[in-house]
Amino acid sequence: MMSKVLFQKKQTIDYKLMMNVKKIACIGAGYVGGPTMSVIAQKNPGIIVTVVDLNQARIDAWNDSDLNNLPIYEPGLADVIEEARGRNLFFSTDVEKAIDEADMIFISVNTPTKTYGKGKGQAADLKFIELCARQIASVAQSDKIIVEKSTLPVRTADALKSILDNTGNGVNFHILSNPEFLAEGTAIPDLQSPDRVLIGGENRDAIEALVGIYEAWVPRERILTTNLWSSELSKLVANAFLAQRVSSINAISELCEVTGANVDEVARAVGTDSRIGPKFLKSSVGFGGSCFQKDILNLVYIARSYNLHAVANYWEQVILLNDHQKSRFAEKIIRDMYNTVNGKRIVFLGWAFKKDTNDTRESAAIYVADHLLSEEANIIIYDPKVTAEQIYRDLDYLGTRSSEENKRLVQVVEDPYEACKDAHAIAVLTEWDEFRTYDWKLIKEQMKRPSFVFDGRSVLDSSLMESLNFTYYKIGSDVNQK
Ligand code: UDX
Ligand code: ADP
């Protein structure tokens, strides 16, 4: 029955349009565009894929012959680049040429939360998307399929279509929504073996053209097709649900600390219920990343704009709880350290928003640091993949204090043991695997006493920490209840 339906469907496909996809352009060579296009190129050696970006330095890094210098760190990415780059995968700043030549154009530019005007702090800033649309419209001389890859508010496709149709050269544009579900740190396996690929659109031939590209490696039954709006909304909802699970378990972590329960045990007990499932129940210092907060704020903004205040308030709580989790971690550090961290050496292990990425967007570490710096702590930061420039940029971006002041209070180091020498406290902000394997005995010997460890990711072995006489706290089970 299933195969019959598929067969009938295939009969009506416009193979001309499908076969016309010989060249793909992707605008935006970031965390989404770069890895996604690399895998599409790897799996479709017959299609030329050109990734373009305005940022020359970023493109140079993508083209660097030393694969250690790629602009983003993702396990497995270098191998894919090595295989496809120069064969059918290219990185360039010539945006117009790529648009002109492409049959299909992915838009993977950033859509940060607005920092000005209407919707400030909530709505997605679509200025980069609009610029892309205008550029595509002015350059295109042949029909194109436009694929929204960036996460966008529902009905952005309407705006895109209107700009393209009204400012274009009379060519046809078919708009598809194809949200990306990859998670950073696991982008390559997520892309190579996705739970599902979602394609929303109105034109069946355009949809099938994109299905054809994914079918090169994704089983057909995992490629879901919907209407445009369902696809756009599903991306926001998927992220909102995931973030909600993290906030839910984080809410319980605080309760565990006062009742003597252990949040990891609770998560295990709850997660083994097959209706609930074990994933995204890891209590932490708070979720970060470029998507969760932005997408929920977006959802809240959309709900409010339709006067659905109960809906908006419900989802807003996920963010408020996350903010609470970050600030209560900072407050805990201050409280345990005798209510003052002024001039004290506090080491941050980790700055990235999660392990296996150099991305720091919305990382909890930024906000915990800011809180402690306002109390005049000295913070020494070690992260295996994040650069010092990025860390200072993150802090300066908050605008809480001058750049000179951030430089005075914060030191970024390359050796974790050096960092921990003479420290009053260590705070674990990212769950990098290497933290587990450090010589904690040596670290303890070189720290000040009492030697505080605040484990915001529950990565360390609590019995080891206690046996070494650390004053050890981990989120969700306060072994040193005061
Ligand atoms: C997320 C979605 O997972 C992905 O599908 C979407 O395309 C983009 O947004 P990402 O932000 O890269 O991906 O990472 P994710 O693994 O979802 O983690 C987000 C944040 O939640 C991180 O700060 C992580 O440390 C935190 N987290 C995650 C927890 O604190 N506990 C968990 O159990 C899971
Ligand atoms: P994401 O996580 O969504 O991939 P990034 O910020 O990592 O976000 O990447 C988005 C990329 O899009 C940036 O490198 C930025 O320079 C690029 N970009 C934004 N607007 C344009 C544009 N109009 N043309 C080309 N590149 C653009």
SS3 string of 94-142?
CHHHHHHHCCEEEECCCCCECCCCCCCCCCECCHHHHHHHHHHHHHCCC
Q: Which residue reads 């860390």 in tokens?
A: 391
* pLDDT tens column, 297-308: 999 999 999 999
Q: Which ligand is nearest to the CA of 295?
A: 1
The residue whose two tokens read 């200025």 is 127
For 87-101, 107-121, 219-233, which range has the lowest pLDDT when averaged over its residues?
A: 107-121
Q: Is the pLDDT of residue 288 over 90?
A: yes
Domains parsed from the chain with CATH numbers = 14-226 (3.40.50.720), 293-474 (3.40.50.720)
pLDDT given for residue 124 in this prediction: 81
pLDDT recorded at residue 15: 44
Q: Is the CB of 325 under 6 A from ligand 1?
A: no
User: What is the pLDDT, as a whole number, of residue 479?
Assistant: 53
Indicate whether 18 pLDDT > 70: no
The mean pLDDT value for 199-220 works out to: 96
Instruction: State yes or no: pLDDT of 5 exceeds 80.
Output: no
pLDDT of residue 468: 98
Give catalytic status of residue 235 as yes or no. yes
- The whole-number pLDDT of residue 119 equals 85
Sign of CA dihedral 394, 396, 398, 400: positive
Q: Averaged over 379-396, what is the pLDDT?
A: 98
CB atoms within 10 A of CB 402: 10
**Res 4: pLDDT:** 38
CA 52 to ligand 2 center in whole angstroms: 9
Residue 135: predicted pLDDT? 94
Q: Is the pLDDT of residue 203 over 70?
A: yes
Catalytic residue among 148, 180, 257, 362: 180
Q: How far is the CA of 371 from the centre of ligand 2 (A)?
A: 30
The protein residue with its alpha carbon nearest to ligand 1, atom 34, reads 280
Ligand 2 neighbour 145 (Cβ under 6 A): no
Give SS3 for 360: coil
CA of 108 to the centre of ligand 2 (A): 6
**Whole-angstrom distance, CA of residue 126 vs CA of residue 117:** 13
pLDDT of residue 169: 86
Rounded mean pLDDT, 456-462? 97
State the pLDDT at residue 156: 83
Q: Once rounded to an integer, what is the mean pLDDT over residues 284-299?
A: 95
The answer to whether 428 and 383 are in contact (CB under 8 A) is no
Average pLDDT, the chain: 93
> C-alpha angle 148/204/42, rounded to 5°?
55
Q: Is the CB of 29 under 6 A from ligand 2?
A: yes
> What pLDDT is stored for residue 121 in this prediction?
84
Q: Decide: 181 in ligand 1 pocket, CB within 6 A.
A: yes
Instruction: Indicate whether 2 pLDDT > 50.
Output: no
314 Cβ inside 6 Å of ligand 1: no
**pLDDT above 90: residue 16:** no
Q: What is the pLDDT of residue 157?
A: 84
State pLDDT tens for residues 308-346: 999 999 999 999 999 999 999 999 999 999 999 999 999
> Which residue's CA is the closest to the ligand 2 atom numbered 6?
110
401 CA to centre of ligand 1 in angstroms: 29
pLDDT level of residue 8 (50, 70, 90 thresholds):
very low
- On the question of pLDDT at 13 being above 70, the answer is no
Confidence of residue 159 (pLDDT cuts 50, 70, 90): confident
Global pTM reads 0.92
What residue type is assigned to position 482 of the chain?
K
Range with top average pLDDT, 7-16, 81-90, 153-162: 81-90
**Of the ranges 119-128, 174-183, 399-408, which one carries the lowest mean pLDDT score?**
119-128
Say if ligand 2 is within 6 A of residue 180 CB: no
Which range, of 27-36, 162-171, 348-357, 421-430, averages the lowest pLDDT? 162-171
Atom of ligand 1 nearest to the CA of 289: 11
